[in-house]
Amino acid sequence: MSVDFEGGSVGLEGLSPADVEHIRRRLTEAMSRVCPHWLVDEREDLVQAALIRIVGMRGGRVGAGELASTYLWKTANSVMLDEIRRPRWRYERTTDDGRIGDGTPTPGQDPERDAVSKEVATQIHDCLQALEASRRRAVVLHLAGFGRREIVDLLGRSLKQVDNLVHRGTRDLRACLERKGVRP
């Protein structure tokens, strides 16, 4: 069994095709939910790179019984974030003349829309930072996709408290954006 990539392939001794497909599918599902828009075209490559690195780190010792292990997914998280961040720094690198990026727009990139999106995100982050601390933490988790129960466990609050924090926090966030004149 092997994983093909540009320029060669990596052997996956001890893994059945079903094992590899299982890992690949779950990595793809995770990536599809978090991949930034400017990397959408590279999503499959990112999954492939993560898969190769995971197996490489284990020296081909990944076995079917390990697929559910915490270690594997922790590693997957780490390598996927590395892969996401790598092109990000390249994209955002400030050139000598003060421009951002390498000057080569990706296909479908709309510089004006990107600039607006970036400005909106910056304003949201500014407003998040201005929230009262406990509300801010609950809202960050909420907007990052965490469910109420997860937030309860992570913040050590009751469900009712979390409901209040999220409700009041998002209300304050919207009010802040309104004051700034930031609209969807």
Partner 1 sequence: MTAEQWTDARLSQALAKTSAPAAADPERCYHADLFWHLVRGELGKRLTAEMLDHSAGCPHCLQALRLARAVASDAGASAPDPSKGSLQSTLQKFFHPVAALAYLLLLLLSFPVYRLLTPSEPAHPSPVVTGTTPQVPLPSVPEGLRGLRLLRLTGDVAFRGGAKQEPARLVLRPEEALALKLFPELEDLPRDPVASLTIRVLEGGKEQASARRQVGDLEADESFLLLLDPGMLQAGKTYRVELRVDSPAPRVVLTQAFRLDAR
CB of 4 to partner 1, least distance (A): 23
- Please give the residues from 162 up to 181 whose contact with partner 1 meets the rule CB under 8 A: 170, 173-175, 177-178
CB of 154 to partner 1, least distance (A): 6
The residue length of the chain stands at 184
- Give the residue carrying structure tokens 């978090």: 34
Site string for partner 1, 5-44 (x = CB under 8 A): ---------------------xx-xxx-xx-xxx------
Among the listed residues 73, 161, 164, 168, the single contact to partner 1 using CB under 8 A:
73
Which region, left, alpha or beta, applies to residue 108 given φ > 0 means left and ψ of -120 to 50 means alpha?
A: left
Contact present, 19 and 64 (Cβ < 8 Å) = yes
Cα–Cα dist 12/92, whole Å: 35
For partner 1, give the closer residue by CB, 4 or 102: 102
Please report whether residue 49 would count as binding partner 1 according to CB under 8 A: no
For partner 1, give the closer residue by CB, 1 or 26: 26
* Size of site (CB under 8 A) for partner 1: 76
- Give the residue carrying structure tokens 């720094």: 89
Among the listed residues 1, 45, 60, 143, the single contact to partner 1 using CB under 8 A:
143
CB of 29 to partner 1, least distance (A): 6
Segments in the chain forming alpha helices (H): 17-34, 43-57, 70-92, 111-130, 133-143, 148-155, 159-180
For partner 1, give the closer residue by CB, 49 or 76: 76
Please report whether residue 84 would count as binding partner 1 according to CB under 8 A: yes
DSSP assignments along 119-159, one per residue: HHHHHHHHHHHHS-HHHHHHHHHHHTT--HHHHHHHHT--H
CB of 156 to partner 1, least distance (A): 6
Among the listed residues 124, 163, 164, 168, the single contact to partner 1 using CB under 8 A:
124
Among the listed residues 2, 18, 41, 81, the single contact to partner 1 using CB under 8 A:
81
Cα–Cα dist 169/171, whole Å: 5
